[in-house]
Structure 1
Amino acid sequence: MSETNDGISLLAALKGAKFDASLITTFNATLPFYEEVVLRRLQAAESRHNVVLMDSVQCARSWATPSLRPRLAGSAYALIPMAAPGAFHPKICLLASKKRCALFIGSHNLTLSGFGFNREVTTYIDVGPDADPAHKLVLSHVWSLIREWLRTQEDKLAPSVLEAAHRIGELVPQATGVESKLSDIRLLGQSNSGPSLLEQLDRAMPAMPERVVVTGAFFDTQHALLKSLEARWPGAAIKVIIDPKTVALGGRPKGLRSQFVDARELWSEQAAHYLHAKALLLDFGGSHMLVAGSANPSRPAWLGGERANFEAMLVRPNLELASSRFARDLALGFSAPAMDDSELRAIPITHQESENDDETPSAPVRIVALAAGTSKVMIPRSESEEFAEFVVHMEDGSHTAPAALERSEDREAIAELGEKAPAVRWLELSGRSGRLLRIIVHHDDALSRGVARSYRTALRDALAGLDFSGANIESLIQQIEKAIFDDPEQVVLPPSSIGRPGSSKQTTTAPVRPASLAVHIGETASTRNSRRKRLLQSGSLLEVLDALIYRLGQGLPKSAASITESQPLSEEELVGTEHEEATQEPVAPLPLQAVDAVRKRLKQVVSRMIKQLKAAQNETRPDLRVAKTRTCAVQLVAVLSLVREFRRLRHLPQWRQVGGFIDSETRQDLLSQSMVILFGRSQGIACDVRADDSEVQEFEELGQVRALLAWLAWDIGHSLLKRIEPMAQKAKKDHLVAAYAYLYELLPAIAVDEEDAMQLSSSVRMTNTPTADEGANGENWLNYHFKIGWEVATAPAAAYPDQEGIKAGDLMYVPYSNPPQFSVVIDVTAQDICLSELDRERRFTRFAWRPESQDRALLQASG
């Protein structure tokens, strides 16, 4: 890994290298510079699949200036405007191939200045086959963060455009389970949900810093970050390095303990260059921590909230100052003299709260996708209602005369491009109001040329090509069922030590509770993920599993044959129009026979899964039990993913009237049986999924099972917020207690694992009812249950004791359990208390803790 700011050059990294794909994120960009310089270098390096994610406001401003408009966007590369609550502000460059990835994380925009003239900070990580596991882990976290950002754009972008970005993930390697030599390098990432950058930094710090240096080019009007740092670190001396000539100070510094330092005095040899780097250097007395990347010292960048930026920062704890020129330069700020009040008053004030706060562009930019062989661009009614005509702009810079927009029956605008459609780059819509709308045309066939077609890609394309008729979906389920249950030999075999005479079986049925939570970059998540690997390494089941989790999870697109015809409104077009029912239903209802066939097929898949779980539990030979259990874990992930996707499909206009495909009884049976058989503390088989290899703490699929089972509990309606009334009927009380037991079993492990928490969050969001109220309810459920999971995961052994007032549904420490376990109270009297262990009940004499021989196995419902 190259140290920050030590002569790093993206263009130099491309020289003589070969990559298959690239993805660059940027706040603003000089798109002609990208096309004429960077893209040419990428193509010379054999990168045929290139994607740029750019802040949508800045993208619109680029289009307002003719000399800054791109010519090749949508054809030679995918340009995706990204909308964020504040600003889309990360600066990441990912170069990927099958054997090697190169990653740049820094402060540089995709501009000529950012690449060659400004004072920037950038970290370069080269991830090859023999790369340090910490680097692979950072790369994996970066891709997870990019996926999360892309998820927020699903209602704005065509599926084929999103797929252009997601394809790059096929080249990103999984983090290995090998012990890392640099395990403390971490990523901080901010989106519109989850903890803020500052909260994540707090979790990564070993102690309170004694001295802090901050540098950046933009501050909000209230200097909120500096005030937060002063409040959190009251004993720290804080210096802020700025360039008075170029800094956007936001407001006059008032009431601050922090002292400002003139960068021109500190780094006089670089005074002519724009100070654009963003970083913090923390001194803990015996060690230093460098935090560098895209985030300016402002509220939107660091503190989250309603106007949060999307950002990416890299944390380098225990950094030797001598190893990094940039860190050494920052360290000079510790002892540098502070600017006086007259010098501060001489700095012009911008009065901007965030990077995108100045005037809104007169013409926003949107994206459409043009399928191969078509010449009509369909523009949603919500975007095009006030526009009457359009001008077509070609690749060579020429444009046509204004032409009238046509209208579909659903009032979508239709722009007919004619025979020149393949050469069209963008459209400009206008109307009587004088407003303009610019549409970037992405050509699906051009973006897909040159992309290596693996079996997985072919499968995903085949799935995407299916239309929504009942017969085709039933065929899809049949294919997936066959791959899930009839091709299990690809699952990793159990270690050879299992089943050998004298070998001891792992008896712990629950993971050791972590000491702390760090959803994005904390010790537990990093350590755990770096020691996870897949049970499933290859085969058709892996391809179907990945397709379900990743491809279908992004939303099934329209089939190519249906694009040219008038279609009901899509999910994207439904936003803001949920109550206009009359114009959004399919014209002809689907045959009930086809819907029933899909329902029966899905019920059969669930029933077959439950039988597989029972067969694994009833296996008496230890080696076969382990093998069957591990196969079941992978199969269960696929079945739960399939259930999730059909729960999402019920919201599409084509399917809303059928009332769903999987009834609540079937879903409840799958949840209950899976929880009892897998995680029951008496005979649960989840312990057989865990590895007894010291290098592998847990297989990836077990975490996915937890996240998907927690999603299924949410989908059924289970919640820890539901009160268990003391006088409720026994059946209702037992149902709620069981739901509590399931959630308390799943949530602690999910809350402390980045990937599993992200999967639960994305599953809830993609299957939630598409209304504002239900969306808010889903977010409230996630926030509350992640909080509870964290509290249980970090609770000391003495937490949740038996005490006066304890009641059914409460959590209680299981006496003498090691590691400490907590169980849900089923019922309680003055003399004894009954606890749930999922597959049995245990009754104790209260306060004496003498286990009585009153255990009774829970009866499993017949499959």
Structure 2
Amino acid sequence: MPETNDDISLLAALKGAKFEASLVTTFNATLPFYEEVLLRRLQAAESRHNVVLMDAVQCARSWATPSLRPRLAGAAYALIPMAAPGAFHPKICLLASKKRCVLFIGSHNLTLSGFGFNHEVTTHIDVRPDSDPAHKLVLSHIWSLIQEWLRTQEGMLAPSVLEAAHRIGEHIPQADGAQSKLSDIRLLGQSNSGPSLFEQLDRAISAAPKRVVLTGAFFDTQHAFLKALEARWPGASIKVIIDPKTVQLGGRPTGLRSQFVDARKLWVQKAERYLHAKALLLDFGDSQMLVAGSANPSRPAWLGGSRVNFEAMLVRPNIEVASSSFANDLAQGFTARAMDSADLRAILISRQDDENDADAPAAPVRIVALAPGTSAVLIPARDAVGFAEFVMHLHDGSQTAPAGLRHSEDGGAVVELGDRAAEVRWLELSSLGGKLLRVIVHHDAALGGGVVRSHRAALQDALASLDFSGANIESLIQQIEAAIFDDPEQVVSPPATSARPGADGQAHIASARPESLAVHIGEGASGRKIQKKRLLQAGSLLDVLDALLYRLGQGLPRSAGSASGIPSVSEEELVGNENEEASPEPPAALHQQAVDAVRKRLKQVVRRMIKRLKAAQSEANADARAAKTRTGVVQLVAVLSLVREFRRIRHLPQWRRMGGFIDAETRQELLSQSMMILFGRAQGIARDIHAKDGEPGEVVELGQMRALLAWLAWDIGHSLLKRIEPMTPKATKDSLVATYAYLYELLPAIVVKDEDTALLASSVRMTNMPTPDESAHGESWLAHHLTTGLEVATAPATAYLDREGIKAGDLMHIPHSNPPQFSVVIDATAEEICLSELDTKRRFTRFAWCPARPTC
């Protein structure tokens, strides 16, 4: 049986499954969310052919906001802007393989809100060879409907672009005509030809319902659909469930028999979730019918006409209301108290007739195809007229200088991309009058091969572009904590074969510095580029973490310089959706009680992280310890990233008076415990993480972890510039020695990797106090410590031998250590010297270099 509920998870359906292709249709979308979360999950499920069909107007509005622009469209997946007379509005997700297809038909857009924060409705159908024929028929009808929508775009899109979508059909099984136990389940689909949704629904009903309850987020100005229901079923009682705080009512509901119900009072536990579901429940006395999907209760959605929407709804006759939580919720509306006239008058009126009825975007979006082996694209005359020059936007977010367009005889424009053609993601054409056109470049060769993006780059992009809103912070931290610690089976997939350290304990494969210190930056001892290996696999906890942190990034007001680029708010961009950052008003600061709760929760996350590291260190079994260490390193990267975000947002206006969310003591505990447990020379567990046999380099996450730990040291206030004077109190001296030990352990390994150096620098800059003096201080710290790290990383071991005048805080090479190791001097006398090993201390006889005793 299909499932129709408000808690069905697409991400859960992908977990552990294998699919060859996917197609998603959506009205609006947060494309970075799709790329960083859903696309990575699809790739982890081996889906190499992925397509997104999105309303063309909403696609153009996404491009108007830099943070919402995609970076992989046209190369890692096909993004096709769909033009419709009204709006391209269906919400379908189709996952396909040779033996199985999974179908989701619902109200959810391709946004983080749609996938987890709004009140949505989704029907899930899993089609296998032995599935009910009715399910196969619905799948066949869905694919026919998608093909019909694609046919309407044939005059506007290159054949290869359309073919990218049509290829999904190779995985769709044909309906076999067998008799179904669920023969009445059916699809209602609307295009710019054929009967309207309401006509199709009317044909599916043999008798008039006695009671009707419906819900939606958008109504047209004349309430045409409600009037049509009243006229067609004059004896039916009609209830309309709305959220008065977020509904777009279009016009005052006057002259209606239908009664409105306040969803916030009816569904108290879900009152804070944006009501975005679209559905009807029809009661015939002896049975009920559920109709759910994408169509709002409006004229364009249900009644067709010149401004018709493209929509998809699924009819579930004879549904057992108790079997569906959403249907059960709707059924409560039959007997719910209606809103009075005063309540209705208090609702804001949008005066909008369809979903795309707001101002058109300043710059439309088109799509062109780049054929394999070529470096030029052709923009048809209908789109190219009036444009004089273009700018290429590349895969890394950079852009080229403006260049002149070359026009063909028929008025089209030929854009020569040159030797950077493979890097181009989109073009921006401009005219002398300031007119703009944005053009997505569809890379036929890349999409044919199913390009998989570097997960390292994806993670770095996600963590580097976060922002913070302040909404529901404590509950979101709790979700992040669960994502980090409570889903261990998907955290780390160990390398296929791991080198074991030798019995003598000298095989420090996960060394904190290169095998030889005399190397060029970014190269190994052999002089060739080292390829780093990854612990994280696609679909790991950081996919979830990225999504949750992305949610934290919504709602931040834009700078004054970007205010003009804020798109108009449409039906799908209300409270709870991804465009809520367009609000001109900054979010309100939390009350002190809420701040205290956040501090408590963050402290709990840190302590839980330390506990995990200690558990890994105390594990007696070598294989189990290695596995726990791999998991711990990944989790530590996540926790450090979370700490960094909260240190960054303390500078925002609404948080400045709160004094920060994570105290220095908690941050110091995280730093010191992590350093001792991971890098301690006696019992450090970082050495348990290895690359594959026979392959150089170390795993990626170790480098990222070092960079974030070094940032944490800076954030606490640690510095190599602080000197230990002869009369320094012992407690201060011990603290400074520990500081030196941490930084000398981390910096030499960071500076020989460009990406780790960049992560440290960006972390310092994004969390620095936004004042000229503090910015200069941060840059000075970076310059000194990166230079010092480079000196240590490239110096010969003889540069740090025992010498006259050596004192606490100095660095000294330990003879015969392989790979070369350095330790910070704790104290020195004429006869002995004591060195820090992070998790212990060792005392040596001066110059003779034999251990005097194990510890000091």
Quote the offset at 1:321 in angstroms. 1.1
Deviation string for 1:283-312 (max 9, x for gaps)?
A: 011110000000000000000011000000
Aligned position for 1:108: 108
Quote the offset at 1:6 in angstroms. 5.2
Q: Please say if 1:352 is aligned against 2:374.
A: no
Aligned position for 1:226: 226
In 2, distance between residues paired with 1:347 and 1:235?
A: 28
In 2, distance between residues paired with 1:180 and 1:412?
A: 53
Aligned position for 2:179: 179
AA paired with 2:141?
H
Quote the offset at 1:82 in angstroms. 0.2
In 2, distance between residues paired with 1:177 and 1:298?
A: 35
In 2, distance between residues paired with 1:34 and 1:270?
A: 25
Aligned position for 1:303: 303
Partner of 2:130, secondary structure, is coil
Deviation string for 1:387-420 (max 9, x for gaps)?
A: 0000000000000010000112222111111000
In 1, distance between residues paired with 2:186 and 2:178?
A: 17
Aligned position for 1:12: 12
> Is residue 224–residue 299 contact of structure 2 (8 Å, CA) maintained in 1?
yes
Deviation string for 1:322-354 (max 9, x for gaps)?
A: 111111110110000100000000000000000
Overall identity of the aligned pairs, in %:
79
Quote the offset at 1:2 in angstroms. 4.2
Q: Please say if 1:54 is aligned against 2:57.
A: no
User: How many residues are treated as equivalent by the alignment?
Assistant: 451
Deviates more, 1:401-410 or 1:299-308: 401-410
Identify if the C-alpha distance between structure 1 residues 446 and 255 changes in structure 2 by more than 3 Å, giving closer, same or farther: same
Q: Please say if 1:339 is aligned against 2:339.
A: yes
Deviation string for 1:182-239 (max 9, x for gaps)?
A: 1111000000000000000000012001000010000000000000000000000000
Q: Please say if 1:191 is aligned against 2:191.
A: yes
> Is residue 54–residue 79 contact of structure 1 (8 Å, CA) maintained in 2?
yes
AA paired with 2:111?
T
TM (norm. structure 2) is 0.52
In 1, distance between residues paired with 2:326 and 2:6?
A: 7
> Is residue 2–residue 8 contact of structure 1 (8 Å, CA) maintained in 2?
no
Aligned position for 1:130: 130
In 2, distance between residues paired with 1:206 and 1:411?
A: 56
> Is residue 29–residue 110 contact of structure 1 (8 Å, CA) maintained in 2?
yes
In 2, distance between residues paired with 1:145 and 1:317?
A: 21
Aligned position for 1:656: none
In 2, distance between residues paired with 1:279 and 1:211?
A: 14
Deviation string for 1:669-716 (max 9, x for gaps)?
A: xxxxxxxxxxxxxxxxxxxxxxxxxxxxxxxxxxxxxxxxxxxxxxxx
Deviation string for 1:5-43 (max 9, x for gaps)?
A: 153100000000000000000000000000000000000
> Is residue 278–residue 292 contact of structure 1 (8 Å, CA) maintained in 2?
yes
1:43-192 equivalent positions in 2, closer than 5 A: 43-192=43-192
AA paired with 1:419?
D
1:428-507 equivalent positions in 2, closer than 5 A: 428-450=428-450
1:502-517 equivalent positions in 2, closer than 5 A: none
> Is residue 301–residue 308 contact of structure 2 (8 Å, CA) maintained in 1?
yes
Partner of 1:60, secondary structure, is helix
Aligned position for 1:361: 361
Aligned position for 1:326: 326
In 2, distance between residues paired with 1:211 and 1:384?
A: 54
In 1, distance between residues paired with 2:220 and 2:310?
A: 16
In 2, distance between residues paired with 1:178 and 1:93?
A: 25
Quote the offset at 1:245 in angstroms. 0.6
For the pair shown, the structure with the greater C-alpha radius of gyration is 2
In 2, distance between residues paired with 1:165 and 1:352?
A: 32
In 2, distance between residues paired with 1:336 and 1:177?
A: 43
Quote the offset at 1:3 in angstroms. 2.1
> Is residue 221–residue 351 contact of structure 2 (8 Å, CA) maintained in 1?
yes
AA paired with 1:161?
V
1:216-615 equivalent positions in 2, closer than 5 A: 216-450=216-450
In 1, distance between residues paired with 2:6 and 2:63?
A: 34
Deviation string for 1:252-282 (max 9, x for gaps)?
A: 0110000000001100000010000000000
AA paired with 1:64?
A
AA paired with 2:17?
A
Partner of 1:184, secondary structure, is coil
In 2, distance between residues paired with 1:256 and 1:65?
A: 40
In 1, distance between residues paired with 2:24 and 2:316?
A: 22
RMSD: 0.8
Aligned position for 2:26: 26
Quote the offset at 1:177 in angstroms. 2.3
AA paired with 2:389?
E
In 2, distance between residues paired with 1:238 and 1:407?
A: 59
> Is residue 223–residue 298 contact of structure 1 (8 Å, CA) maintained in 2?
yes
In 2, distance between residues paired with 1:346 and 1:411?
A: 54
> Is residue 114–residue 120 contact of structure 2 (8 Å, CA) maintained in 1?
yes
Quote the offset at 1:447 in angstroms. 1.0
Q: Which runs of 5+ in 2 are unaligned?
A: 452-856
> Is residue 6–residue 120 contact of structure 2 (8 Å, CA) maintained in 1?
no
> Is residue 76–residue 450 contact of structure 2 (8 Å, CA) maintained in 1?
no
Partner of 2:146, secondary structure, is helix
Partner of 2:351, secondary structure, is coil
In 1, distance between residues paired with 2:382 and 2:237?
A: 52
> Is residue 288–residue 319 contact of structure 2 (8 Å, CA) maintained in 1?
yes
In 2, distance between residues paired with 1:131 and 1:86?
A: 36
AA paired with 1:327?
A
In 2, distance between residues paired with 1:95 and 1:69?
A: 24
AA paired with 1:285?
G
In 2, distance between residues paired with 1:171 and 1:135?
A: 15
Quote the offset at 1:450 in angstroms. 4.2
In 1, distance between residues paired with 2:331 and 2:45?
A: 38
Deviation string for 1:635-660 (max 9, x for gaps)?
A: xxxxxxxxxxxxxxxxxxxxxxxxxx
Identify if the C-alpha distance between structure 1 residues 6 and 296 changes in structure 2 by more than 3 Å, giving closer, same or farther: closer
AA paired with 1:361?
P
> Is residue 6–residue 119 contact of structure 2 (8 Å, CA) maintained in 1?
no
Identify if the C-alpha distance between structure 1 residues 450 and 382 changes in structure 2 by more than 3 Å, giving closer, same or farther: closer
In 1, distance between residues paired with 2:6 and 2:338?
A: 27
Q: Which runs of 5+ in 1 are unaligned?
A: 452-863
AA paired with 1:50?
N
> Is residue 430–residue 436 contact of structure 1 (8 Å, CA) maintained in 2?
yes
AA paired with 2:273?
H
Moved over 6 A (4+): none
Aligned position for 2:837: none
Deviation string for 1:588-630 (max 9, x for gaps)?
A: xxxxxxxxxxxxxxxxxxxxxxxxxxxxxxxxxxxxxxxxxxx
In 1, distance between residues paired with 2:3 and 2:412?
A: 52
TM (norm. structure 1) is 0.52
> Is residue 221–residue 251 contact of structure 1 (8 Å, CA) maintained in 2?
yes
> Is residue 14–residue 41 contact of structure 1 (8 Å, CA) maintained in 2?
yes
In 2, distance between residues paired with 1:98 and 1:150?
A: 23
AA paired with 1:230?
E
> Is residue 21–residue 48 contact of structure 2 (8 Å, CA) maintained in 1?
yes
AA paired with 1:411?
G
> Is residue 55–residue 81 contact of structure 2 (8 Å, CA) maintained in 1?
yes
